Amino acid sequence: MVEQQQQVGIRVEALSAPFQAQAQHWAERLGLPLVDEQAEFAVQFGGDGLQIQQLGPQAPGPVRVDFVEGQAAHRRLFGGGNGQMIAKAVGIAQGIRPQVLDATAGLGKDAFVLASLGCQVTLIERQPLIAALLEDGLVRGRLDAEVAPIVERMRLLTGNAIEHLRNWQGEPPQVIYLDPMFPHRDKSALVKKEMRVFRPLVGDDLDAPALLAAALQLASHRVVVKRPRKAPIIDGAKPSHSIDGKSSRYDIYPKKTLKA
Residue-level pLDDT at 76: 76
Residues 85-98 pLDDT 10s: 999 999 999 999 99
Residue-level pLDDT at 235: 94
Computed over every residue of the chain, the mean pLDDT equals: 89
Helices (H) and strands (E) in the chain, counts: 9, 10
- Spell out the domain ranges in the chain: 5-54, 70-254
Residue-level pLDDT at 125: 95
pLDDT reading at 260 higher than 50? yes
Instruction: Kindly indicate the confidence band of residue 3, based on its pLDDT and cuts at 50, 70 and 90.
Output: very low
> Is 144 a known ligand-binding residue?
no
Q: Is 70-254 CATH 3.40.50.150?
A: yes
Residues 121-140 pLDDT 10s: 999 999 999 999 999 999 99
Residues 58-86 pLDDT 10s: 888 899 999 998 888 777 776 677 889 99
The answer to whether 67 and 140 are in contact (CB under 8 A) is yes
Residue-level pLDDT at 199: 67
pLDDT reading at 48 higher than 70? yes
Residue-level pLDDT at 187: 46
Residue-level pLDDT at 82: 84
What is the chain's Cα-based Rg?
A: 18
Write the CA distances from 53 to 13, 79, 135, 199, 221, integer angstroms.
10, 28, 17, 13, 39
Q: How many residues does the chain have?
A: 260
Torsion of CA 185, 186, 187, 190, to 10 degrees: -70
> Is 36 a known ligand-binding residue?
no
Poorest-confidence range of 101-105, 170-174, 228-232? Answer: 228-232
> Is 97 a known ligand-binding residue?
no
The answer to whether 178 and 165 are in contact (CB under 8 A) is no
